[in-house]
Amino acid sequence: MSLSYRDATLDDLPAIVAIYNSTVPSRQVTADLEPVSVESRLGWFHAHGPQKRPLWVVEDAEQPGRVIAWLSFSDFYGRPAYQRTAEVSIYLDESARGRGLGKQLLAASLAAAPALG
């Protein structure tokens, strides 16, 4: 699978939340015990931006516009010494798992990280 990603837009948030919520029942990926709502993730979404804390989405090559994965750089800890440290989260739609996409996204995040503000 070749990697092509873009910065997320607010229109992508329902798909981002759906992918996230698909991992909640397994209790292996997230610490949430219940699904989250799109509304509850608006603040999180707005805390991201291309220059410092990107939020990327990957669209299905066969179904353009269908988000199958996302990656976020989020603040790690609120203290000043950690301002250049980010938590990287990668979530994949069930249809995209097991094909190496997560590894490609992690590699892309490591390559992009030094240039982030």
Arithmetic mean of pLDDT, 50-65 = 93
Q: Which domains does the chain have, with CATH numbers?
A: 5-115 (3.40.630.30)
Arithmetic mean of pLDDT, 17-23 = 96
Instruction: Give the three-class secondary structure for 33.
Output: coil
State the pLDDT at residue 106.
Answer: 97
pLDDT of 58 over the 90 cut = yes
Kindly report the average pLDDT of the chain as a whole number.
Answer: 93
Q: Say which amino acid occupies 111.
A: A
Of all residues in the chain, the percent with pLDDT exceeding 70 is 98
State the pLDDT at residue 105.
Answer: 97
Instruction: Give the three-class secondary structure for 4.
Output: coil
Question: Does the predicted model carry a pTM greater than 0.75?
Answer: yes
Residue 55, both tokens: 């939020």
| Beta-sheet pairing, 55-59 with 5-7 | antiparallel
Distance CA 109, CA 88 (A): 8
State the pLDDT at residue 3.
Answer: 81
- Is residue 31 within 8 Å of residue 16, measured between CB atoms? no
pLDDT of 91 over the 90 cut = yes
- Is residue 116 within 8 Å of residue 86, measured between CB atoms? yes
The per-residue pLDDT for range 3-18, each reduced to its tens digit, is 899 999 999 999 999 9
